[in-house]
Amino acid sequence: MILQKVSNFPTKFLFNFPHKFEMAARPSSDLAKFRREHLASAQHLVILTGAGVSAESGVPTFRGAGGFWRKYQAQDLATPQAFYRDPSLVWEFYHYRREVMLSKEPNPAHDAIAEVEARFAAEGKRVVVITQNIDELHKRAGSENILELHGSLFKTQCTECGDVRPNHDSPICEALSGHGAPDPDATAARLPVSDLPRCQVGNCGGLLRPNVVWFGESLDEEVMDAAHEELENCDLCLVVGTSSVVYPAAMFAPQVAMRGVPVAEFNMETTPATNRLGGKGFFFEGPCGTILPQALAE
């Protein structure tokens, strides 16, 4: 599947649901009912998370009004074409993002998700996080069962041999030290390709790229297969801080709801998925770091 926005996703995939499902009533906001009737009895919980979770940790999204790094938005730099044209500029962007993440911490939403996973595991039950985020804040909070749909800022991929491995070096290479400032007037470093991050496997020495899914690229098939398996087997699904406009992840919650499985959305505002959560749907409006801990508390 290709990472796409709703505006250019093939029409045949756009909410191909029965009419009566499309016209479903607004989901419930009864938190006590959610906890009593669904969370308490759940055996296999899937939690879908998006940028809204990390935004509460102060992580910039580079989307929407004001979402710029220098004069660029993410879609200007997060493409194979941009990397081919100017790998130095793209690495400056990702170096900045990596360094910013080192100053951020998981927030109460991340902590609540990790805590419910540990609690369920102790009871022989399963929790899996399927995230669109690339910041590893779920992992730092203590979550263990994580599927990263879009990869990770802290993994690299060799453009020559294909090797993928974790990398938490700061800076990722000496040449990038002191570069990557987000100011619109900042001067591009224009580093030679030979000074950019290089593969350390044997004598490869190939140019490294961030191991993230760029716009126009296919999502990892193994990760997608694992995500679909979890979604097919879960008996409760939470949607937390995601805009539900990036496909294929935008289809996940409505597809689960079509199976008659309860789906609860936690968000600052309604999304395209909100009214497609079925008869057992819930919507809780507000900051994820405030409402999610209440919903998942023991």
Count CB neighbours of 179 within 10 A: 18
Buried b (16+ CB within 10 A) or exposed e, 10-44: eeeeeeebeeebeebeebbeeeeebeeebbeebeb
Active site residue 150: yes
Structure tokens at 235: 């008996």
Q: Helices marked H in 182-250 — which ranges?
A: 221-233
CA pair distance 7, 4, nearest whole angstrom: 8
Query: Out of 38, 95, 110, 150, which one is annotated catalytic?
Result: 150
Strands 236-240 and 164-166: what pairing? unpaired
Q: What is the CA radius of gyration of the chain?
A: 20
CA pair distance 258, 281, nearest whole angstrom: 11
DSSP tag of 124: T
| Secondary structure (3-state) at 192 | coil
- 8 Å CB contact between 280 and 238: no
Beta bridge partners of 72: 69
- 8 Å CB contact between 22 and 276: yes
Listed residue (76, 74, 39, 56) closest to 267, CA to CA: 56
CA pair distance 128, 230, nearest whole angstrom: 8
Structure tokens at 280: 């057992």
Number of C-alpha atoms within 13 angstroms, CB side, residue 78?
24
List the catalytic residues: 150
